[in-house]
Amino acid sequence: MAKFTRHTCAALALTGLAAFAADDAMAQNSDIPTLYFSAIPDDDATKLTERFSGVADYLEEKLGVPVEYIPVKDYAASVVAFRNDQIQLGWFGGLTGVQARLAVPGSQAIAQGDEDTSFVSYFIAHDSTGLEESDEFPMSAKGLSFTFGAQTSTSGRLFPDFYIRKETGEAPEDFFAKVGFSGDHAQTLRLVSTGAYQLGALNYTVYDDAVAQGLPEVETTRIIWKTPPYPDYNWTIRGDVDARYGEGFTQKVKAALIGMDDPDLLASFPRRAFVATSNEAYEPIVQTGRELGLLD
């Protein structure tokens, strides 16, 4: 029996049985395997599904192959899915992208957000701390409680951890009274806004977006420090896709991503545009990850 995808149903509604028959034939053609992609779960799962369904439609149109978004439960699961060939393309953070490429030799970072060439993390604090924004690391935060995001988040853990050690000369567990991991950037903001943790580190775009939307969480929190810039999010593709989808497929995917100019699609990341990148651009993350024992 034919499998009804969202695309099959749409074609049936618009053009009737003939269009359905064409879609059905394509779906059963074993020469056109589905391209599966995922993204690190840096926000609520329902929001991610909404964000990336449109991206799947766009890529399917540009690439001429079926494309499906596959949600994953956490950052580590995105790397496992890539390693196990459950996904062939991933929107990773800087660290998870490195982990994925190390797990699958030949894989390439092919595109990044225009903002990802110089990404930063915000350190935020609950208003009750009395801490104010400064260009200097907030040494007066010593002895307070602090939450990272996910354990392998570049902007929510890797570089905040690195700069805490660099600026204070101490491990986070020694500098702060209590250290936790929220799981994602949105949850970090919620925990600090309620005072469950006095401070936290998160992706700057998540906080800026919350400010733009006027979310209640920003009413009780404030930015107190910004890290120096570093490379972050990237699209990484497996090294065997050309053999599977045809010679030049990697470049075709790269061109489709860089050519994405629909404001609504870009806002789902959120990014102004995608630009070309390479594995070499993420060497600072390889070095930092190894220094912190997060990479073999």
Q: Top-level CATH class of 32-116+231-291?
A: alpha beta
Would you give the distance in Å from CA 251 to the centre of its chain?
A: 21
Give CATH 3.40.190.10 domain extents, the chain: 32-116+231-291, 120-226
Q: How far is CA 1 from CA 5, 34, 180, 284, in A?
A: 13, 18, 49, 51
- Nearest residue to 269 (alpha-carbon basis) of 43, 36, 37, 6: 43
- In DSSP terms, 235 is beta-bridged to 91, 111
**DSSP reduced 3-state for 125:** strand
46 contacts: CB under 8 Å, gap ≥ 6: none
Alpha-carbon distance of 69 to 57, in angstroms, equals: 10
- How deeply is 167 buried, as exposed, middle or buried, from its count of CB atoms within 10 A (0-12, 13-18, 19+)? middle
What is the residue type of 266?
Answer: L
Positive/negative CA dihedral, 124, 129, 132, 138: negative
- In DSSP terms, 36 is beta-bridged to 68
CATH number of this structure's domain 120-226: 3.40.190.10
Over residues 64-106, the pLDDT tens digits come to 999 999 999 999 999 999 999 999 999 999 999 999 999 999 9
Would you give the distance in Å from CA 8 to the centre of its chain?
A: 29
CB 112 within 8 A of CB 231: yes
DSSP string computed for 42-89? -S-HHHHHHHHHHHHHHHHHHHSS-EEE---SSHHHHHHHHHTTS-SE
Place of tokens 């806004």: 193
Q: pLDDT tens per residue, the chain (296 residues)? A: 444 344 433 333 333 333 333 344 444 445 789 999 999 987 666 777 888 999 999 999 999 999 999 999 999 999 999 999 999 999 999 999 999 999 999 999 999 999 999 999 999 999 999 999 999 999 999 999 999 999 999 999 999 999 999 999 999 999 999 999 999 999 999 999 999 999 999 999 999 999 999 999 999 999 999 999 999 999 999 999 999 999 999 999 999 999 999 999 998 888 999 999 999 999 999 999 999 998 97
Place of tokens 């100019």: 261
